[in-house]
Structure 1
């Protein structure tokens, strides 16, 4: 059995992601990646880091898939698959444009980070939870989930991770000022 050399483009992608995992409001952790989707892969779990909250308001995954021979539908040798789940203001649950706005924020964050991409697909899901009985004090909570995948133009994927991190913070309503000051801004 011969060992296959790690493709140079995949090494470039991993190094660029490692260098980009520096968002001050996020925690990053390497996790096992799905092995059946591509010959080369890596994955991270992400969560917001906030001093005044016991649980992160946003969690997610960032998966890198690489096939030097490409795959149908990718239109490239890399595919990024990302997921996030964010708690947002419950009053937004009635906004008919919420899903569309979050989808556009994903595009905005990728473009603002300089992450070149194409063939983006995805879904936005809303989850409304209302508490009753002894849990009435909690009131209603709203979570949104965004699942997306896209093909990057290059092997430099650091900008893509930065964009996803920013999107997770933006969706949860977390700003750099909150982190620096350590108190929620209303």
Structure 2
């Protein structure tokens, strides 16, 4: 959502990084710090999140995401300030859901809803939502048909970074079929194989 007010600095990068590292998440969503991409900004911190991962450090078959906080104290015209968030979220889907023509629109609306519900204020948002359908052949024929939704987005935050991180976590869980309030609900298996 566009905010007509000039962006306010959320806090110093060190404070934002400490805040991100101190956050707790729902028990079925595991978040860890990963190396941040280099060359995008003088300061960067990246997180990876996985819904019910089977092995530490391996993308979950239920849903996975990345969150990168970028900071350039001199500001960036394209960002409209000195802060930028880049996020990624993906989850496997049942093939029937993957063919829904509104799926990409729904995925984007879930991001906007998550940001709004967490009080995460922002401007200069952009992104893509991609749905992929796949069919296995030859030695992969046994994997059958599959679908996946992937959302890549970026925006410039104007409020506490913690609100943005929590919104990203909520988005990844939503894409994986775990809406807010569904903590500790049993899941019997991924909705399809996690082939990308």
TM interval, shorter chain, is: 0.7 to 0.9
Show structure 2 runs of 5+ residues with no match.
1-10, 192-196
Give the direction of change, closer, same or farther, for the CA distance of 1:98–1:183 in structure 2 (3 Å limit): closer
Q: What corresponds to 1:93 in structure 2?
A: 98
Q: What corresponds to 1:5 in structure 2?
A: none
2:33 equivalent to 1:14 = no
Q: After TM superposition, list the pairs within 5 Å mapping 1:119-158 onto structure 2.
A: 119-132=124-137, 135-154=140-159, 156-158=160-162
The number of equivalent residue pairs is 176
Q: Indicate if the aligned counterparts of 1:10 and 1:66 stay in contact, CA closer than 8 A.
A: yes
- Superposed CA deviations along residues 140-175 of structure 1, whole A, max 9, x for unmatched, are 211111110000003x21111111111111111124
More helix by share: 1
TM-score (norm 1): 0.84
* Cα RMSD, aligned residues only: 2.4
Q: What corresponds to 2:85 in structure 1?
A: 80
Q: What corresponds to 1:114 in structure 2?
A: 119
Whole-Å separation in 1 of the counterparts to 2:35 and 2:185: 35
Match for residue 186 of structure 2 among 151, 170, 182: 182
Whole-Å separation in 2 of the counterparts to 1:175 and 1:16: 24
Report which stretch shifted further, 167-176 or 67-76.
167-176
Show structure 1 runs of 5+ residues with no match.
1-7
